[in-house]
C-alpha cells in the first residue's frame, strides 16, 4: 500500500530534475499525477519516463490562460486535487547594476505571480485536508552574488506559505515550502568542475544532493506523515543554510 494511494497530484515544471523525480515517486506511492512543461518534446519524454498514472499538459505556469487549461483537464479527468507541488521556476545569474526590467518581470512573473495563480486557480478543485508544496530555495534565506532577483522571489514564496497557512486553515489545507540546496541536476551542467567543487565546499555534508532526495522530502510533505506540519520551510540542503 502506497502513501499516496488514491490521491491526485499536480506538479508544475516537472519535465526534468527534482520535479520529475518527485512525479515518479508520487506515482510509485499510488498517486495519479498531472505534470506540466513548456516544451512538448521534453513533456512527452517525462510522461514516458514516469510510465503510468500520468497526464502531461503543455503550458507555461507564468501564463494564466495556460493554468486555466491545466485545471480544465484536471477537472475533466479526475475532478479533484489532493496535492499540488508548485515547482515551476527559473533563475539567472545577473548582478546588481546589470539587472533589466525584462529580467525582473520574467523572473517575478514566473516564480511569484505564476506560483500565486497556480495555487489560487487550484483551490476550487482542492480537497479539504490536502497539501500544497511551494518550490523554494535556500537562496531565499541566504545572500548569493548575482542572484538578488531570484532570491527575492524565493523569499516571497516563504511569505506566501505563512499567509496561506492562515487563509486555508479552515479547510485543513497544509501549505509548506520545500527549499533545496545545491542539487546535482542538469541545471549545473554549464558550470566548470572547479565551480562545482566550490559549491560542494559550502555544504557541511561535503556533497551535492540528488533529485531523489528532494522527491522523498516532497513525499513527506504530501503524505499523512506530515499531518501536523504546516507553514514551514523545509530545507533539504546538506546543512548549507543551517550552520
Tell me the three-class secondary structure of 154-204, residue by residue.
HHHHHHHHHHHHHHCHHHCCEEEEEEECCECCHHHCCCCHHHHHHHHHCCC
pLDDT number for residue 195: 82
pLDDT number for residue 92: 86
Answer whether CATH 3.30.420.40 is correct for domain 8-236: no
Nearest to 84 by CA among 71, 69, 68, 65: 71
pLDDT number for residue 199: 86
Rounded Cα gap, residues 152 and 111, in angstroms:
10
Q: Around 154, how many Cα atoms within 13 Å sit in the side-chain half-sphere?
A: 28
pLDDT number for residue 121: 98
pLDDT number for residue 76: 98
Q: Are the beta carbons of 157 and 89 closer than 8 angstroms?
A: no
Q: Around 190, how many Cα atoms within 13 Å sit in the side-chain half-sphere?
A: 3
Residue at grid coordinates 504546516: 230
pTM of the model: 0.96
First to last CA, the chain: 38
32: annotated active-site residue: no
Q: Of the listed 32, 71, 150, 198, which one is catalytic?
A: 150
pLDDT number for residue 184: 92
Q: For the chain (length 243 residues), average pLDDT per consecutive 10?
A: 96 96 98 97 97 97 97 98 96 92 96 98 98 96 90 97 98 98 87 87 96 98 98 97 93
Amino acid at each position: 500500500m502506497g502513501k499516496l494511494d488514491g490521491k491526485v497530484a499536480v506538479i508544475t515544471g516537472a519535465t526534468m530534475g527534482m520535479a520529475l523525480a518527485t512525479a515518479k515517486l508520487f506515482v510509485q506511492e499510488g498517486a495519479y499525477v498531472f505534470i506540466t512543461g513548456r516544451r512538448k518534446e521534453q513533456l512527452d519524454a517525462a510522461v514516458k519516463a514516469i510510465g503510468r498514472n500520468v497526464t502531461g499538459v503543455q503550458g507555461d505556469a507564468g501564463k494564466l490562460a495556460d493554468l486555466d487549461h491545466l485545471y480544465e483537464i484536471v477537472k475533466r479527468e479526475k475532478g479533484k486535487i489532493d496535492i499540488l507541488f508548485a515547482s515551476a521556476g527559473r533563475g539567472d545569474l545577473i548582478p546588481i547594476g546589470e539587472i533589466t526590467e525584462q529580467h525582473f518581470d520574467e523572473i517575478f512573473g514566473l516564480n511569484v505571480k505564476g506560483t500565486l495563480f497556480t495555487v489560487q486557480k487550484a483551490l476550487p478543485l482542492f480537497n479539504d485536508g490536502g497539501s500544497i508544496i511551494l518550490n523554494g530555495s535556500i537562496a531565499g534565506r541566504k545572500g548569493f552574488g548575482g542572484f538578488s532577483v531570484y532570491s527575492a522571489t524565493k523569499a516571497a514564496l516563504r511569505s506566501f506559505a505563512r499567509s496561506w497557512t492562515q487563509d486555508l486553515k479552515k479547510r485543513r489545507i497544509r501549505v509548506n515550502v520545500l527549499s533545496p540546496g545545491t542539487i546535482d541536476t542538469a541545471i549545473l551542467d554549464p558550470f566548470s568542475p572547479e565551480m562545482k567543487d566550490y559549491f560542494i565546499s559550502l555544504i557541511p555534508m561535503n556533497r551535492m544532493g540528488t533529485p531523489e532526495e528532494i522527491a522523498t522530502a516532497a513525499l513527506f510533505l504530501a503524505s499523512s506523515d506530515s499531518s501536523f506540519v504546516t507553514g514551514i520551510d523545509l530545507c533539504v540542503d546538506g546543512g548549507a543554510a543551517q550552520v
